[in-house]
Amino acid sequence: MTKARVDHQPSSLGGRPDNAAAQTAGPTMEMQQETDDDLIRACRSGNAEAWERVLDKYERLVYSIPLNYGLSRDDAADVAQLTFTSLLQSLDSLHEGSRLSAWLATVARRNTWRVIERGRRESTEEYGDVAETMPSLGKDSTSLLERWEMVEWLNHGLTLLNERCRGLLLALYFEPDEPSYADLAARLGMAVGGIGPTRARCLERLKQILEER
């Protein structure tokens, strides 16, 4: 029997019951093994669950690119809607081997710049001083890293972690409101005392992933 967990939380589930971590983390280990080609094919056939998995995997990326360019949450939500709608319109024409992460990041960036150019907010600042630290994080130092590339790169690394690590690191380092260890432990179903050691292991794993990319 196939089961689905109904979404009661602000963050969406990927249809995986009995795992509180999935509510904050998004894609599951199984979805990490599912290729973008698999997802695209399933979506083309009208599989709504596959579309949910696409959203689980990439909605943070698409929503966060405009946020990191200084857009408001409302504008960022608009960019996310436009970007994923573009994906739907392009589904049938995407070729084999398309990388959804890069495709979505590119479209989100373009939509972000359109909003900026419409005058809602002006920001032409590049990721200057942070770009200088890229060699330390394992990124090619010869390219000047724009914010959207940074978001896409970090998001991709995080999607390759297991659910618990991803949920933990997102909450501790990348979400606007950092929860307390007690709140985090309750959310992820962990002991409070385990948060610290787990965060170190997860961060070390992320380091390995980012340096390999």
The rounded distance, in Å, linking the Cα atoms of 42 and 56 is: 15
With CB under 8 A as the contact rule, the residue among 16, 60, 109, 164 that binds another protein is 60
Number of residues that bind another protein (CB under 8 A): 68
Say whether residue 204 binds another protein (CB under 8 A): yes
**Binding mask of the shown chain, residues 102 to 141, with x at each position contacting another protein by CB under 8 A:** -------------------------x-xx--xx-xxx---
Q: Which stretch binds another protein (CB under 8 A): 28-36, 63-71, 109-117, 184-192?
A: 63-71
41's tokens: 């094919």
Say whether residue 29 binds another protein (CB under 8 A): no
Say whether residue 149 binds another protein (CB under 8 A): no
Shortest distance (Å) from residue 96 CB to another protein: 19
Shortest distance (Å) from residue 1 CB to another protein: 4
Say whether residue 38 binds another protein (CB under 8 A): no
The dihedral over CA atoms of 53, 55, 57, 59, expressed in degrees to the nearest 10, equals -170
Give the H or E element holding residue 38: helix 36-44
The rounded distance, in Å, linking the Cα atoms of 154 and 141 is: 16
The rounded distance, in Å, linking the Cα atoms of 102 and 1 is: 35
The rounded distance, in Å, linking the Cα atoms of 68 and 113 is: 12
Instruction: Report the candidate in 139, 142, 147 with the shortest Cα–Cα distance to residue 70.
Output: 147
CA atoms within 13 A on the CB side of 16: 19
With CB under 8 A as the contact rule, the residue among 175, 189, 193, 213 that binds another protein is 175
| Cβ distance to another protein smaller for residue 8 or 95 | 8
With CB under 8 A as the contact rule, the residue among 32, 41, 77, 162 that binds another protein is 77
User: ∠ CA(101), CA(76), CA(70), 5° rounding?
Assistant: 100
Shortest distance (Å) from residue 174 CB to another protein: 4
71's tokens: 């857009």
Give the H or E element holding residue 182: helix 181-188
Catalog residues that contact another protein under the rule CB under 8 A.
1-8, 10-12, 15, 17, 24, 26, 43-44, 46-49, 51-52, 55, 59-64, 67-68, 73, 76-77, 80-81, 84-85, 88, 91, 127, 129-130, 133-134, 136-138, 147, 150-151, 154-155, 158, 170, 173-176, 196-197, 199-201, 203-204, 207
